[in-house]
Amino acid sequence: MSESEISRELLEQYLNRSVANVLDTMLAQPSETATAEDLSNSKVETPVELDSLEKPIYVGSVGFVGDINGGLYLFASQSVMMKATARITEVNEVGSEMISDVCGEIANMLGGGFKNSLADMGQPSMLTIPTVLNGCELYVSSIGVSRYLRFRYTLFEEPVVVDLAMAKIV
């Protein structure tokens, strides 16, 4: 089975389940079900809801490599990541290194839940080491991507975006 044979609805279900599990388990926060915006054939830019917010934003990413390859990207404002870090670490004064660590771990957990759903349908993969960037006007290149889906959520009453990029089969 290739990436193109997995329906958009199934990808939405898998990612929404992963997000709900991670937000509930790690942050004790509810998650609404999101419908994906298909950005597969467009230039992918910073999510507009984060572009106008405080700077910098954090982008945590993790790849999955195996029968199906791709990447997952978590976009969040600095204030959301500060709240998430304080909640997870139970430390009120958090620095940028700790925030980056938590952002990477959340992205890792999101990717792990998603890849486990793929494995349950017979498409095993392994996760890459999470990477975190912070800055302004960050975006993900969609070169070599066959499907790019954007999901919008709310965390601590602020916008959070999760992008799913599925690689082209070579």
CB 103 within 8 A of CB 83: no
Alpha helix stretches (DSSP H) within 36-152: 48-51, 78-89, 96-120
The pLDDT value recorded for residue 9 is 94
pLDDT tens per residue, range 60-115: 999 999 988 999 999 999 999 999 999 999 988 888 899 999 999 999 999 999 99
pLDDT tens per residue, range 1-34: 555 578 999 999 999 999 999 999 999 999 899 9
CB 46 within 8 A of CB 134: no
The pLDDT value recorded for residue 144 is 73
Alpha carbon 145 to chain centroid, angstroms? 16
CA atoms within 13 A on the CB side of 135: 6
pLDDT tens per residue, range 127-148: 999 999 988 777 677 677 889 9
pLDDT tens per residue, range 34-58: 999 999 888 888 787 887 655 789 9
Amino acid type, 75: F
The pLDDT value recorded for residue 169 is 67
The pLDDT value recorded for residue 115 is 95
Distance CA 30, CA 53 (A): 22
Which residues make Cβ contacts (< 8 Å) with residue 95, sequence separation at least 6? none
The pLDDT value recorded for residue 53 is 56
Distance CA 162, CA 102 (A): 15
